[in-house]
């Protein structure tokens, strides 16, 4: 009888634990960048890069190549840019990215990320810090009113590896952050933060598996670093109703990218943001498989 009662209690606890887990789709491989020829598949991806001032970006590339340390084929994205010399306030924003060709059904993205090199400096006279990021994310839903091709009222979520100019960590240590925001304008240059989560750190040149999942049944986003426990950012569906698809193009402009926020500065040396990143083994939820 005693064993029966104990076993029953354990079963109840286990079932309770299962019931609180997110009922998310299994993940399937979307791209491992090993197919011949070693070029990006235009049926799966399209690329973009942007500068808010043309004279600040110098080095930028996206290509499939062999990673020199681990000898795997991966997507290499790198970018170097400088802050504006016109003021000592604000930052210059730059990105270099590949978009999923059709992200409308993508609720989960997982990829292995390896930051090879990073350089990020700030400006003594500018209170804004510089930051370099390797990111996975996009727009997942729209709170309304929605306009096709416009990110206004889209909810943006990403998981990223970053280094900031004000970091006190050793030079080879990078932070991992999960973030959710509500876009207030077209292009999402103005956004209201919904939440952030610190997922720990990773060292330069070390691979890390990152995952982001939108879980609308539980009004939350799930973030995970490797096999660490999942962490969550929840949202209030009364404030952020999630029944509309994102307004952003290509089903939410979901992407892999390198992005920099570089402090503007009137004095030399000019602040810089640089990151050289490899992405491999990209997974998505099963219903979004190509």
- Count other C-beta atoms under 10 Å from residue 11's C-beta: 10
CATH 2.30.30 fits domain 27-288: no
The total of other beta-carbon atoms located within 10 Å of residue 96's CB is 26
Q: In this prediction, what percent of the chain has a pLDDT beyond 70? A: 90
Q: Where are the domains of the chain?
A: 27-288
Q: Which of 29, 48, 169 is nearest to 99 (CA)?
A: 48
Residues 47/98, Cβ–Cβ less than 8 Å: yes
Inter-CA distances, 169 with 93, 135, 173, Å: 23, 20, 6
Give, in order, the Cα–Cα distances in Å from 246 to each of 44, 169, 283. Answer: 19, 37, 21
Over the stretch 11-62, which tens digit does the pLDDT of each residue have? Answer: 333 333 333 455 678 999 999 999 889 999 999 999 998 755 555 667 899 9
The structure's pTM equals: 0.90
Statement: residue 233 has pLDDT above 70:
yes
């Amino acid at each position: 009888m005693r064993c029966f009662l104990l076993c029953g209690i354990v079963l109840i606890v286990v079932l309770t634990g299962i019931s609180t887990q997110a009922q998310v789709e299994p993940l399937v491989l979307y791209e491992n960048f090993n197919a011949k020829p070693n070029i990006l598949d235009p049926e799966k991806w399209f690329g973009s890069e942007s500068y808010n001032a043309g004279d600040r970006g110098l080095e930028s590339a996206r290509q499939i190549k062999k990673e020199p340390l681990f000898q795997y084929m991966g997507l290499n994205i790198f970018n170097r840019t400088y802050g504006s010399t016109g003021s000592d306030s604000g930052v210059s924003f730059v990105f270099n990215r590949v978009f999923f060709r059709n992200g409308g059904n993508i609720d989960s993205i997982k990829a292995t990320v390896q930051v090879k090199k990073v350089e990020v400096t700030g400006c003594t006279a500018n209170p804004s810090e510089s930051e370099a990021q390797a990111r996975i994310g996009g727009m997942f839903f729209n709170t309304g009113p929605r306009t096709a091709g416009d990110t206004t009222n889209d909810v943006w979520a990403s998981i990223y590896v970053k280094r900031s100019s004000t970091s006190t960590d050793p030079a080879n240590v990078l932070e991992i952050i999960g973030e959710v925001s509500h876009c207030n304008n077209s292009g999402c240059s103005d956004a209201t933060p919904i939440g952030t989560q610190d997922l720990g750190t990773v060292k330069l040149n070390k691979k890390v598996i990152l995952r982001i999942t939108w879980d609308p049944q539980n009004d939350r986003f799930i973030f995970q670093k490797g096999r660490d426990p999942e962490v969550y950012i929840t949202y209030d569906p009364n404030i952020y109703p999630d029944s509309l698809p994102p307004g952003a193009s290509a089903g939410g402009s979901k992407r892999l990218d390198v992005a920099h926020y570089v402090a503007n500065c009137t004095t030399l040396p000019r602040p810089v943001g640089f990151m050289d990143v490899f992405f491999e083994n990209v997974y998505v939820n099963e219903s979004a498989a190509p």
